Amino acid sequence: MAGMSDFDFFVLARALHVFGVVMWIGGVAFVTTVLIPSLRRMPNVANRLDLFEQLEGRFSLQAKITTVITGASGYYMLEVMNAWDRYLLPQFWWMHLMTFVWGIFTLVLFVLEPLVLHRWFHQQAKKDSEKAFVRLHRMHQVLLSLSLIAVVGAVAGANGYQF
Ligand code: HEM
């Protein structure tokens, strides 16, 4: 039978999920391993802060959109697979980790950054640029590491590996 069955939407959701993850976590990887280390080497601390705010500000919109795409497609897959009980099983730690990573980024991007982090980081960077950027770098490294462990665990788990 032609026409879109649930299965087609399911495949579409999986493809969108990975599309979202690539655009989002790929951007986080770039910011963490390329942008912040380069900024930390810039001698002019005012330029450093300006450039960071311009570039990460632009990435922030992309991250917001892709976070929504990833979350919505993940939710849809769970619903179609009726796999909510995975949250009760420790061997599905990668489901917990994916969801946790999503939750942290959602909180940071939609709540903490606009309400407090942006102003706070600006003030800290004006006071002591070195210290502020070291801390910023470390926070990005932690989030990127968790994200990458989630990606590796999820691909293995979704493709049948039994943890
Ligand atoms: C609320 C957030 C999320 C939900 C509800 C969710 C849900 C899901 C579900 C149901 C699957 C399919 C599992 C299976 O086929 O057995 C999946 C796969 C996957 N997810 Fe998530 N996910 C979320 C966030 C994330 C995040 C933040 C990442 C990346 C850090 C991620 C990366 C992946 C990857 C790489 C796959 C494997 C795709 C494949 O190999 O087919 N997900 N996710």
Decide: 68 in ligand 1 pocket, CB within 6 A.
no
Is 33 inside a domain boundary? yes
Q: Quote the number of domains for the chain.
A: 1
Mean of all residue pLDDT scores within the chain:
95
| Full domain range(s) for residue 82 | 6-158
**pTM to 2 decimals?**
0.94
Distance, in Å, from the CA atom of 20 to the CA atom of 69, rounded to the nearest integer, reads 6
Is 134 inside a domain boundary? yes
Tell me the pLDDT tens digit for each residue of 65-113.
999 999 999 999 999 999 999 999 999 999 999 999 999 999 999 999 9
Is 163 inside a domain boundary? no
Nearest CA-CA partner of 37 in 48, 21, 53, 22: 48
Ligand 1 centroid to residue 143 C-alpha, Å: 16
Is 1 inside a domain boundary? no
Angle formed at CA 52 by CA 47 and CA 55, multiple of 5 degrees: 120
Ligand 1 centroid to residue 132 C-alpha, Å: 33
Ligand 1 centroid to residue 96 C-alpha, Å: 10
Decide: 148 in ligand 1 pocket, CB within 6 A.
no
